Chains A and B, each alone.
Chain A
């Protein structure tokens, strides 16, 4: 494994509640990414970071925010969770050749 963990691994929450997912790496990679994976859609990029405090939006960023205050941690926040945000969330990190290494995923259910 590439030294990347996600927490929690599973979460059930109610509509309207805030949720924060954490991605932690021990590889000191500059780039970190958050994706969601849904049936029929493959992986879609939510937000990514290219350095501490440097982030940018991806394809499906509405309803999500991110923060990166340290190289090793990248947080994804759902300010007010909706049922459409039920998904599996993957964090990834990348090295200079752009190969990405993925975490184990977080399964989020919004009821």
Chain B
């Protein structure tokens, strides 16, 4: 069974707005990662946050991790039409494997 579950499944916003996606998991992790997938393409790594970190930034991306609640959030600020994609969280349980969630489909309208 998959560990990571994203919420919401789909999100539609206007350019310039912020987009927040959430991920929950079931058992303790080594790290949590977020990936983006444009339609018809492979996944692209966005950011990795380790279990001892609470927040991490990369450009317009902000990721938080709450290990007590077994949850993470990805915030995209000042969204652009080019941010339209599916976003996946993936959890690393120190087993050399990642467990991917089912993803959030983000649509950003110009």
Q: Which A residues fall within an 8 A CB radius of B?
A: 31, 33, 35, 40-45, 48, 50, 58, 90, 92, 97-105
8 Å CB interface, B56-101 against A:
88, 90, 92, 96-101
What's the A-B contact tally at a CB cutoff of 8 Å?
53
Contact between B48 and A99, CB atoms less than 8 A apart: yes
Question: With A and B bound together, what is the CA distance between A41 and B96 in angstroms?
Answer: 21
Contact between A99 and B45, CB atoms less than 8 A apart: yes
Chain B residues closer than 8 Å to A41, beta-carbon distance: 102
**What residue of chain B has the Cβ atom nearest to residue A104's Cβ?**
B42
Report which of B45, B48, B100 forms a contact with A43, defined as CB distance below 8 A. Answer: B100
Q: Which B residues fall within an 8 A CB radius of A?
A: 2, 30-31, 33, 35, 40-45, 48, 88, 90, 92, 96-103
Main secondary structure of the interface of A (DSSP, over half): strand
Contact between A104 and B41, CB atoms less than 8 A apart: yes
Contact between B101 and A42, CB atoms less than 8 A apart: yes
CB distance from B17 to the nearest CB of A (A): 25
Question: With A and B bound together, what is the CA distance between A39 and B56 in angstroms?
Answer: 30
Contact between A98 and B92, CB atoms less than 8 A apart: yes
Chain A residues closer than 8 Å to B48, beta-carbon distance: 97-99
Chain A residues closer than 8 Å to B41, beta-carbon distance: 104-105
Contact between A58 and B101, CB atoms less than 8 A apart: no
Greatest chain B CB density within 10 A among A35, A98, A104, A105 is at A98
CB distance from B68 to the nearest CB of A (A): 23
